[in-house]
Amino acid sequence: MLKAVLFDLDGTLLDTAGDMGAAANHVITGLGLNALPDEVLACTTSDGSYALLRAGIPPALIERHGLEQLRDRMLGFYRMNLCHHTQPYAGVPELLSWLNGNDIPWGVVTNKPKALTEPLLADLPLFSRCGITVSADTLPRKKPHPAPLLHAAAHLGVAADHCVYVGDHRRDIEAGLAAGMRTLAAGWGYISAGEDPRQWQSHGVMESVSALTHWLKTVFPGRC
C-alpha cells in the first residue's frame, strides 16, 4: 500500500527550461555561437547543465575555455535568474493541493544542486508543505543511486516500498527501482531525443499530470 509520493523536480513538477535555457544561452551566445532553440532545450534540460552546454558549444571551444569554467558561468547567471520563466506544469498546483488536503506525505528528490534548489522552491508557495527536499549534493551520491530516495523516505517516516517516485528521466526510474519503490515515468517532461519512457521498465507511464492525479486517487483509497 502506498503512503507517500516523491517527485523529481525539473521536467516533472516544474518547467524550468526557460530559465535553464536562458542561462545556457547566455554562455553560448557570449562565445559568438547561435542560441539553442526551444526544441533542443525541451529534450536536453533534464540532462543538466553539462548537457546543455555540450549541445551548443563545439568540443574544441569547450576544451579551450574549460567545461567547468563554462558551467560556473552558466550557473552564476542561472542563480541570479532562477524564476523568471519557471512555472509548474498544468495540474501540478491542484495535485499538490490534493496531497496536502489528504495529509499524504510528499517530497522532492532532484539532481539540482542545493544552492539552486532551495531558493527556487522558496520562491514558489506551492512547495511550502513539501516534506523533504533532497538535492544533488545533499548526500555523497545522487541519482541514479538509490541513496537520495531512501533518505527521503526515511525522513518522511515511510518504508521505501510504500513510496512511489515520479520522474521524467531514465535515471529517475533506475533510482526508484533500486530503492524498491513504485516508479512512474512523467511522459510530459523533458524526454531526451531518442528516449522512449516505455522502455525504462517503470511501473507505468503517465502522459499528463491529470492522469497522474487520477492514478494516485485510485491507489490512495478513501481520499477525495
Residues catalogued as catalytic: 8
For residue 101, the tally of other CB atoms under 10 A from its CB is 10
3-state secondary structure of 135: coil
Q: Is 134 helix (H, G, I), strand (E, B) or coil?
A: strand
| Residues 173 and 194 sit within 8 Å (Cβ to Cβ) | no
Three-state secondary-structure class, residue 186: strand
Q: Count CB atoms within 10 A of the CB of residue 34.
A: 9
Q: List 163's β-bridge partners, or say none.
A: 4
Q: Which residues, at least 6 apart from 120, have a Cβ–Cβ distance to it below 8 Å?
A: 14, 16, 82, 83, 86, 112
Q: Tell me the pairing of strands 106-109 and 133-134.
A: parallel
Q: CA 144 → CA 129, 168, 172, distances in Å?
A: 25, 13, 6
106-109 and 4-7 strand pairing: parallel
Task: Count H helices and E strands in the chain, helices first.
Answer: 10, 8
